[in-house]
Structure formats: C-alpha cells, structure tokens
Structure 1
Amino acid sequence: MKMIILDRDGVINQDSPEFIKSPAEWLPIPGSLEAIARLNQAGYRVVIASNQSGIARELFDMNILNAIHQKLHACAQQVGGSIDAIFFCPHAAIDNCDCRKPKSGMFEEIAKRFKISLKGVPNVGDSLRDLQAGYLSGCTPFLVLTGKGEKTFETGGLPPGTTVFADLAAMVGALLKPTPPTPPTAPPSPTPPAPPATGAPT
C-alpha cells in the first residue's frame, strides 16, 4: 500500500491565525486539490492528520468541523481526487494529550487503522510540529512553504532528511516524477587470447 499523510491547514487550504471556523473560511491553496487527485491516480492513499484545537477553545463544534470536511471532500471530488481518511486532534496544548502534534499519537492511530508501518511514508506539513510527529513514527518529512512554512524554514531545526518545496503541488510533482531508466551497461570486451610463449611449440 502506498500512502501519504498531509497536514490540512497551510498545506491543503489557506491557514488563518483566527482558525478556520466555517466552511466559508475553508479555501483551497491553488493546485493542492489537483495534487491530491494526481496522488490518487498514482495509487496513493491520502490521509490527513490535523490539530484542531478550535474545538477545545469552543471556536467551533464537531458539526462545523464535519461541514468543513464535507466541503473538502466535495471540492477534491470535483477535480477527481479523494481523501481516504481524516484524523484530527480536538484538544488544546494544555490538555497534554497524546494525539496533538508534535506527539505521534495520530500517526500511531493511522498505522493501526490501516495495518501498515509508516516507515518511509511521506509526511507533508507546514510547521515543525507536523514534521516532528511524523518523524517519530518513521515518516519521511516534507516541508511546504505555504501556510506557516516560510517561518518554519527560517526558524530551522527541521528533522533530518527534510525536503522543502514551494507547495503541495510542487512536492507531488517531484514525488511522482518518473525515475529515468538506467542506461544499459555495455558488455565487457572479450579478452584477447594470450600470445604463445617465445620458443613454445605451436
């Protein structure tokens, strides 16, 4: 099974310091949904892992979050894409839960649900905590410069092996780029027979 794990806000849709509190505020980043469709066409299962502490802060409730995700699904389907699952943490940092990124609880749940190892699974985020949570689970980290990505890049401290792209579309383009075939190796030249030793009978 091929899988990719994406953060939501700042990777798929525009982020906001005031949180995304309604379907009307959920606006896709140009090219992100088409990138998801390309992943689907290439055989990838697309899973979202997102902190949604707005619930704990009472900025919106589960009905609103479900409506936002219904819009996400519908917009992805309009361009031929689909999301296999959305995992989210509704807690605030003060709750000290295991599922809020940078902890790896959501990723462990993804591995359990899909019965796979996450070793080497691409994990795309725009914040350090996105990448740290996936790295703890063995994912390969990818930072995009949308959302909080530019600030994250400037701050540094990224997990080892992090690759940086302008946005999700660029990351997916590189991920799906065909590997050029290895040129055939020329067969070795035949070894010429050794000349007879001087004075040896022929």
Structure 2
Amino acid sequence: MKLIILDRDGVINEDSDAFVKSVAEWHPLPGSIEAIARLSKAGWTVAVATNQSGLARGYFTAQTLEAMHQRLRELVAAQGGHVDLIRHCPHGPDDGCDCRKPLSGLFRQIAEHYAVTLDGVPTVGDSLRDLQAGAAVGCQPYLVRTGKGRATEGKSLPAGTRVFDDLAAVASYLLET
C-alpha cells in the first residue's frame, strides 16, 4: 500500500486564524484537489489527519465538519480521485487528549485502520506540529509553503523534512520517484 497522510487546513484548503467554520468558508488551495486526485488515480491511499479544535470551542458542529469533508470528497471525486480516510481531533488545546498534533494519536489511528506501520510514509503539513506528529511515528515529513508553511520553514524542522511550494509540487515529486 502506498499511503500518504495530509494535514487539511493550510495544505488542502485555505487556513484561517479565525477558523474555517462552514462549507462556505472552506476554499481549496489552487491545485490541491487535482493533486489528491492524481495521487489517488496513481494508486496512493490518501488519508487526512487534522486538528479541529473549533469543535471543542463551539465554532461549528460535527455535522458542519462532516459537510466540509463531504465537499472535499466530492471535489476530489469530480477529478476522478478518492479521499480514503479522514481522522480529526475534536479537542481543544487543554483537553489532554493524545490525538491533537503534535501528538501522534491521529497517525496511530490511521496506522491501526490500515494495519500498517508508518515508517517512511509521506506526511504533508504546513505547521511544525503536523511534521512532529508524523515524524514521531516514522513518517517522512513534507513541509508545504502554503498556509503557515512559509513561517514554519524558518523553524527547527524534524530531520529529513523535504520542503515544497504546495501539495501539487509534493504530488508531482512523489509521482516522479
């Protein structure tokens, strides 16, 4: 299985410091939907691991979150691809869970779902916590410069982190290697 794990906000869709709270506020980044579809059509299993503390904060409901994810799935399907799995952390920063990145609970959930190890599995994020969560379970971290990525690029990144302009560039790299 060729598995890839993507962050959502800032990688697939525009991020917002005020949170993405509705389907109307959920806007895909240029090239991201096509990139997911290209990976999917080439045999990659596409999983998403996303912190969604807006749930705990009461900014949106679980139904609204599911509607956003359904929109993502529909857009990718319209390009001939498939989003295989989406796992989210609904907790706030002080809730003490093990799934909120930079902890790696979401990644362990994905590994358990597919009954695989994550050694060398590409994970794509725009924040340090995305990369740390994946690296902690053996993933190969990819930083994109979209979302918070340009600011993150100046931080101390996990060893071996590869840096690309956006998800489309990561997809092109993976499909060429």
Q: CA deviation at 1:171?
A: 0.8
Which residue number corresponds to residue 134 of structure 2?
Answer: 134
Q: Give the structure 1 partner of residue 52 of structure 2.
A: 52
Q: Deviations over 1:58-86 (max 9, x none)?
A: 00010111111111111111111210000
Which structure 1 segments of 5+ residues have no match? 179-202
- For residues 95 and 170 of structure 2, the distance between their equivalents in structure 1, rounded to whole angstroms, comes to 33
CA RMSD of aligned residues (A): 0.7
Distance 1:33 1:152 in 2: 23
Which of structure 1's runs of 4+ aligned residues deviate more than 2 A? none
Is the partner of 2:9 in helix, strand or coil? coil
| Secondary structure of the corresponding residue to residue 24 of structure 1 | helix
* Number of the residue aligned with 1:169: 168
* 2:40 paired with 1:36: no
CA–CA distance in structure 2, aligned partners of residues 135 and 7 of structure 1: 13
State the 1:95 CA deviation: 0.5
CA deviations on 1:136-194 (whole Å, 9 max, x unpaired) are 1100000000000001012x11000000000000111111115xxxxxxxxxxxxxxxx
Letter matched to residue 148 of structure 1: K
- Which residue is equivalent to 1:144? 144
Letter in structure 1 aligned against 2:18: E
Supply the AA of the counterpart residue of 2:83.
I
Q: Match of 1:36, as an amino acid?
A: I
Inter-partner Cα distance in structure 2 for 1:171 and 1:2: 14
Match of 1:158 in 2: 157
**TM-score if structure 1 supplies the norm length?**
0.86
5+ long unaligned stretches in structure 2:
none
Cα distance in structure 2, aligned partners of 1:150 and 1:81: 28
State the distance in 1 between where 2:86 and 2:150 align: 25
Q: Secondary structure at the match of 1:40?
A: helix
Structure 2 match to 1:182: none
Relative contact order higher in (CA < 8 Å, ≥ 6 apart)? 2
CA deviation string 1:7-63 (max 9, x = no partner): 000000011111110001110001111111110121100000000000000000101
CA separation in 2, counterparts of 1:7 and 1:166?
A: 15
| Count of aligned pairs | 177
**Counterparts of residues 74-89 of structure 1 (less than 5 Å):** 74-89=74-89
Q: Counterpart in 2 of 1:25?
A: 25
- Once residues 15 and 128 of structure 2 are traced to their aligned partners in structure 1, the CA distance between those partners, rounded to angstroms, is 15
Name the CA distance, whole Å, in 2 between partners of 1:71 and 1:64. Answer: 11
Cα distance in 1 for partners of 2:41, 2:174 equals 13
TM-score by length of 2: 0.98
State, as a whole percentage, how many aligned pairs show the same letter.
58
